[in-house]
């Protein structure tokens, strides 16, 4: 088992008891060398009016003072894990395993909650859909503009309906569901594999999308805990994701693979071309359908050209 340092001040507090206190939210923040950014994320949590939460900071071996900052804010509610740098999937899973809350919320180190009432609103949303294991909430950018556009909201969605949505969503997940559906930890893969988790939840009809804008979402040219550009290893992550899903669910993923590929392509590879470096572009379902049709048309054109050439 990997070594892991766990820091928490005032350990005599009843908040540390699994028996006497039931924590509602466990907020997981993986971080690596983001001293300034993680400070904003932590402050946005501490400012919440809803106080029944724990905030778990998972440091992957920072060298810029991030870990020391995390130590300085450790408290009854803020817990700090120090772990090897094995990527964001490993860090998220370690945070999930340490969590005590009913619901797990992923708050990346470069993001923050949209307002001081966010957790209170998420509590009401969670209670409204208490039997739904995975609720994906929407986000806004720093100018208050939406960066998430769910295709259908506030009801269980199919895989195609999830893939027909666009933008970036952040999960609020039942801890017991997450515990058996963790992010895959693949040697040499440092990305988060959120796509795997979300597609898995959609396949099993365990997920809904919400239009509630819970977080301020930032893309600073780097959207990984390992400080890699967002599309550095997107294609490899996608192919690995497919392989894992095929092993678990069979050809249901094959039937959706073209649409998944188009969505991923538009999200990761074309963002910088469509809207400039570091900005998020929402892609409509119409764009997805058109691009899917276009991709299907290209081989037909080649076949037609080959037939004409063969006849001549």
Which has more confidence, 232 or 97?
97
Distance separating alpha carbons of residues 28 and 95, to the nearest angstrom: 6
Q: Per the confidence metrics, is the pTM higher than 0.75?
A: no
The pLDDT score that the predictor gives to residue 22 is: 87
Per DSSP (E only), the strands in the chain are 5-7, 25-31, 53-59, 78-82, 103-106, 112-113, 134-140, 148-149, 166-167, 170-174, 207-216
pLDDT above 90 coverage of the chain, percent: 36
CA distances (Å), origin 68, targets 26, 111, 192: 22, 20, 24
The pLDDT score that the predictor gives to residue 38 is: 92
Contact between 45 and 120 (Cβ < 8 Å): no
The pLDDT score that the predictor gives to residue 309 is: 61
Which has more confidence, 252 or 64?
64
Sorted by sequence, the CB contacts under 8 Å of residue 287 that are 6+ apart come out as 266
The pLDDT score that the predictor gives to residue 78 is: 96
Domains of the chain: 5-311 (3.90.550.10)
The pLDDT score that the predictor gives to residue 308 is: 61
- The CB density around residue 306, as the number of other CB atoms within 10 Å, is 10
Q: Where are the alpha helices (DSSP H) in 21-165?
A: 35-46, 66-73, 88-98, 118-128, 159-163
Confidence band for 263, pLDDT divided at 50, 70 and 90: low
pLDDT, tens digit, for every residue of 208-234?
999 999 999 875 544 333 334 444 455
The pLDDT score that the predictor gives to residue 12 is: 33
Confidence band for 85, pLDDT divided at 50, 70 and 90: confident
Which has more confidence, 182 or 172?
172
pLDDT, tens digit, for every residue of 146-171?
888 787 888 888 777 777 677 778 88
Which has more confidence, 87 or 123?
123
The pLDDT score that the predictor gives to residue 265 is: 52
Distance separating alpha carbons of residues 71 and 68, to the nearest angstrom: 5
Which has more confidence, 291 or 133?
133
Distance separating alpha carbons of residues 243 and 255, to the nearest angstrom: 14
Handedness of CA 232, 234, 236, 240 (dihedral sign): positive
Examine the pLDDT at 287 and tell me if it is beyond 80: no
Examine the pLDDT at 177 and tell me if it is beyond 70: yes
The pLDDT score that the predictor gives to residue 50 is: 97
Q: Give strand pairing partners of 106.
A: 28
Examine the pLDDT at 97 and tell me if it is beyond 60: yes
Question: Pick from 74, 134, 87, 137: which is nearest to 111 by CA?
Answer: 137
Tokens encoding 235: 């294609």
């Amino acid at each position: 088992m990997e070594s892991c340092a766990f820091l928490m001040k005032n350990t005599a507090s009843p908040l540390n008891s699994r028996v006497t206190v039931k924590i509602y939210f466990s907020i997981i923040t993986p971080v690596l060398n983001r001293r300034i950014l993680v400070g904003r994320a932590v402050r946005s949590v501490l400012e919440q009016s809803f106080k029944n939460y724990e905030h778990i900071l998972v440091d992957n071996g920072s060298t810029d003072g991030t870990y020391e900052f995390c130590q300085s804010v450790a408290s009854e509610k803020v817990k700090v894990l120090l772990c090897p740098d094995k990527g964001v999937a490993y860090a998220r899973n370690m945070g999930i395993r340490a969590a005590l809350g009913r619901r797990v919320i992923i708050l990346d180190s470069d993001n923050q909650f949209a307002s001081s009432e966010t957790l209170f609103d998420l509590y009401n949303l969670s209670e409204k859909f208490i039997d739904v294991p995975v609720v994906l909430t929407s986000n806004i950018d720093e100018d208050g503009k939406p960066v998430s556009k769910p295709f259908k909201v506030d009801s269980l969605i199919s895989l195609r309906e999830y893939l027909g949505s666009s933008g970036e969503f952040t999960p609020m997940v039942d801890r017991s569901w997450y515990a058996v559906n963790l992010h895959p930890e693949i040697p040499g893969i440092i990305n988060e594999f959120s796509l795997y988790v979300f597609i898995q939840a959609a396949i099993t009809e365990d997920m809904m999308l919400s239009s509630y804008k819970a977080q301020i979402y930032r893309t600073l040219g780097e959207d990984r805990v390992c400080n890699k550009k967002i599309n550095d290893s997107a294609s490899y992550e996608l192919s690995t994701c497919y392989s894992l899903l095929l092993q678990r669910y069979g050809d249901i993923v094959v039937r959706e693979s073209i649409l998944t590929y188009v969505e991923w392509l538009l999200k990761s590879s074309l963002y910088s071309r469509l809207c400039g470096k570091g900005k998020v572009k929402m892609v409509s379902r119409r764009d997805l359908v058109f691009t899917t049709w276009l991709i299907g048309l290209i081989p037909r054109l080649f076949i037609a050209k080959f037939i004409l050439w063969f006849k001549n």
